[in-house]
């Protein structure tokens, strides 16, 4: 293959997608698959309505011949295309199979989340339209700390969601991160909603990142946001549709790491305290291990005990020691 003149493969990564499976019901003796109207579900186990014979139940790829397919139009009419799409993506990573009827009860939960973020946008629109002019200097110290927390969580979410989209294809992780950001925004006070640029930016960023997964919902919400007067964030293109917005990026200040990192120390998976280490060595497992062992906390908890293994997670600033007494 080294000297092969043929062109390279036109892709960089292969994603093998899972299947959406549904239950099949088969007569064991005849090997015949049954339609649902031929089955009696009234007892503890499904049986053939005519012969009362017990059935062989399994989960298989949806197929007309096995009578286990579903009509997409029915569920789309009931919940809407955005809800169905979000549900399928949220249920499992794309490479895993989905057992349809075992998970179908999760659809109302996805619908409730959509309702919450609709109300979140409505609350922002009403507060800005009926309240005073937004003035960040009117925020008290507590509100400023909460605004800083919103800013941090927005940047964390942008970083994670972007990676999930481009590298890992973890669409369920994307939705989970967006749910987390929306929960933080839902806790904001009215003062933050009116006067915080961080809240406004995080709200807009939430819908821009959600747009590829729920374009109909986010387009409607964005139209409402675009008419809000006296915006504090002018870098968003409010006169354009949400699907035409540039993808959010992490603010450069978010990457300015402190000189000292507090590393959480776990012993046999139990948190025992924190040890401060220089930021420049915080990703070196051996150095962090040695600094922890030599610290006061290490003298108290690790002295005279045998360390069998240790694991360092630089991203979460955590080190876990497995020891023998």
Pairing of strands 318-324, 98-99: unpaired
Q: Which pLDDT belongs to residue 224?
A: 96
Q: Please check whether residue 285 is in contact with residue 291, taking contact to mean a CB–CB distance below 8 angstroms.
A: no
pTM: 0.73
Task: Identify the structural domains of the chain with CATH numbers, from first to last.
Answer: 108-252 (1.10.730.10), 258-324 (3.10.20.590)
Question: Per residue of the chain (325 residues), what is the pLDDT tens digit?
Answer: 456 566 666 677 777 888 889 999 999 988 999 999 999 999 899 999 999 999 999 999 999 999 998 888 888 998 899 999 999 899 888 888 888 875 666 788 899 999 999 999 999 999 999 888 999 999 999 999 999 999 989 998 999 999 999 888 889 999 999 999 999 999 999 999 999 999 999 999 999 999 999 999 999 999 999 999 999 998 999 999 999 999 999 998 887 766 788 899 999 888 999 999 987 788 888 999 999 999 999 999 998 888 999 999 887 789 999 988 6
Pairing of strands 98-99, 260-267: unpaired
Relative orientation angle of helices 171-186 and 197-210, to the nearest 10 degrees:
150
Look at the chain and count its residues.
325
Distance CA 227, CA 124 (A): 12
Q: Which pLDDT belongs to residue 1?
A: 46
Q: Please check whether residue 293 is in contact with residue 277, taking contact to mean a CB–CB distance below 8 angstroms.
A: no
Q: Which pLDDT belongs to residue 114?
A: 96
């Amino acid at each position: 293959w080294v000297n092969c003149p043929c062109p390279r493969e036109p892709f960089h990564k292969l994603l093998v997608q899972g299947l959406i499976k549904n239950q099949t019901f088969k007569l064991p003796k005849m090997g015949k698959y049954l339609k649902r109207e031929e089955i009696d579900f009234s007892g503890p186990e499904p049986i053939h309505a005519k012969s009362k014979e017990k059935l062989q139940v399994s989960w298989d790829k949806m197929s007309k011949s096995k009578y286990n397919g579903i009509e997409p139009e029915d569920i789309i009419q009931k919940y809407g295309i955005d809800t169905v799409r979000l549900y399928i993506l949220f249920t499992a990573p794309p490479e895993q199979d989905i057992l349809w009827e075992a998970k179908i009860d999760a659809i109302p939960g996805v619908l409730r989340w959509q309702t919450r973020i609709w109300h979140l946008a409505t609350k922002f629109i009403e507060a800005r339209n009926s309240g005073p002019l937004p003035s960040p200097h009117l925020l008290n110290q507590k509100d400023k700390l909460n605004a800083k927390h919103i800013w941090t969580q927005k940047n964390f979410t942008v970083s994670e969601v972007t990676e999930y989209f481009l590298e890992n294809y973890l669409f369920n992780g994307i939705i989970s991160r967006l749910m987390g950001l929306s929960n933080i925004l839902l806790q904001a006070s009215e003062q933050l909603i009116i006067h915080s640029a961080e809240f406004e930016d995080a709200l807009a960023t939430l819908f821009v990142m959600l747009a590829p997964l729920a374009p109909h919902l986010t387009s409607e919400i964005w139209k409402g946001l675009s008419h809000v007067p006296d915006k504090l964030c002018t870098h968003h293109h409010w006169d354009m549709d949400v699907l035409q917005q540039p993808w959010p990026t992490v603010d450069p200040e978010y990457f300015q790491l402190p000189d000292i990192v507090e590393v959480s120390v776990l012993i046999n998976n139990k948190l025992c305290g924190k040890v401060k280490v220089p930021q420049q060595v915080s990703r070196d497992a051996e150095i962090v291990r040695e600094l922890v062992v030599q610290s006061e906390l290490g003298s108290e908890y690790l002295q005279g005990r045998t360390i069998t293994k240790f694991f360092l997670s630089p991203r979460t600033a955590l080190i876990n020691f497995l020891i023998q007494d």
